[in-house]
Each structure stands twice: as structure tokens, then as C-alpha cells.
A and B are shown apart, each in its own frame.
Chain A
């Protein structure tokens, strides 16, 4: 994933054929995991319960928005001769970053929220290996986007 140019905050990225294909797959199949209930406070009382309900409802809606955005971004990945290009304005970059991080965190949760990433993938079950690869794939695109921001 290579940043080619920036024109008025719109960035044009070049993706290899493999990167373009993988990113499209990630976006078309998003989300890969269910939403884990979020905690709004360590305190447990009625008001916190109400706030937590609102938070989880809001996160559910946000997930739906990300899902729609993922499909829209996938449709913007344009094939060229041997590569793909993707043009993203700041809002779309932000959304894509959130989608990639959502995938990473979801895969990490599916792996049982390990404290360390020093794992021998050959020791994992086939499902765990798939989650492991998903996590690293999303990480690749997320880091690419963050690096192009700084």
C-alpha cells in the first residue's frame, strides 16, 4: 500500500494486485465478528446501566454505518493494469482505519484476547489460524493508513 500523491487532503494510494484483492475481500465481508458488549463505567448502578444500554445501541448503529461504508470503499478500489488504486478523502481514511481496527480487535477477541502476540501459528487450530491471519492482514492496512497520516 503506497501513497502516491495528496491533492487537497485527498490521498491516492496504489495497491499491488494482491493487496487490492485482499482489501476488497476484507471490506466486502466486513464485519467478521459479533459485537462484544462494552462497559461504560466500573461503577454499577441504575444510571450506569442506562448509559451502557445507550452506548451499546450506539455502537450497534455505528457498526451498521461502518458496514455500509466498507461496501462503498470496496467499490472505489479501481483496477489498473497490474495494480489497484484507491482515492480517499480524510473522512473515508478515518472510516477505513476504524474498519481495519474493528477487524483486528474482533480477531483478537476471537483468539481469546491473548496478552502476547508471540505465538507459533503452527500450534493454532485452523479457525485460530484464520483469525490470526485476519488480524495481521487488517494490521497491515491499518498501519499503512496511519503512516500516511504522519
Chain B
């Protein structure tokens, strides 16, 4: 085995206690809010880039933002939700992460 190959060792992190902890960990909705400035084709493009969605799914969420004022894009762990919100803000979209109750 070369030094670059990684031996698969059963990790304690896959145990039942950790799964239970994961289930209790809060999750967050990533929400994109409507604004009058970002153009529809740009918003669709950003959703495709940030989430790796196909055009159809990205357009569906873009239309939801446009018509309903917001769209819940994904439900994720705090860390991932924060990452997505950062990405969306870098594209100048108004996005927030809201705790899923």
C-alpha cells in the first residue's frame, strides 16, 4: 500500500451514539429571498452553479422566489447551510439560513 492510499478502518464515528447525536443536531433551511435587481436568468445560473442542479430544478426555485417572494432551497446541517449562504451572497443573492423546527 502506498502512502497515498488510505486503509479503511471502522470508525467509532459511525456508531449508534453518533447517529443519534446527528439526528438531534439542528438542521437549517437555506432560503433565497426575492429582490428587484437580480435578473431571472442570473438567479437560475447561480442555483445551477452553487447546488449543481439541472436547469429545470433551478428554474423552478427561481420562479418560486420571483412569484412567492422566497424559496426554500435545501435543508442542511448548520455547517453546510452556512457554506451555501456564503456562496449565494458571493453572487449577491439575498439568502438566509433559518433553523428548521
Contacts and interface: CB of A to CB of B under 8 A. Distances in A.
Given A51-B82, A142-B42, A146-B42, A41 B98 contact: yes
A62 B76 CA distance: 23
Interface in A33-58: 38-43, 51, 54-55, 58
Contacts, number: 63
Contacts of A113: 36-37
B96 A101 contact: no
Contacts of B36: 108, 113-117
B45 A149 contact: yes
Nearest to B88: A38
Chain A interface SS verdict (over half): helix
A26 B100 CA distance: 42
Which bracket fits the contact residues of A?
A: 20 to 34
Q: Please provide the 5 A-B residue pairs with the shortest distance between their CB atoms, ordered closest to farther.
A: A108-B37, A105-B92, A146-B41, A41-B96, A62-B90
A127 interface: no
Contacts of B86: 55, 58-59
B41 A101 contact: no
Contacts of B94: 39
A39 B86 CA distance: 10
A41 B97 contact: yes
A146 B45 contact: yes
Contact of B91 (A43, A98, A147): A98
Contacts of A142: 39, 42
Interface of B: 36-39, 41-42, 45, 49, 55, 82, 85-86, 89-92, 94, 96-99
Given A62-B90, A101-B91, A117-B36, 4 more contacts: A55-B82, A59-B89, A102-B92, A146-B41
12 contacts: A41-B97, A43-B98, A55-B89, A98-B90, A113-B36, A113-B37, A114-B36, A117-B36, A142-B39, A143-B39, A146-B45, A150-B55
B91 A40 contact: no
A78 to B, nearest CB: 26
Contacts of B55: 150
Contacts of B37: 104-105, 108, 113
A23 B54 CA distance: 30
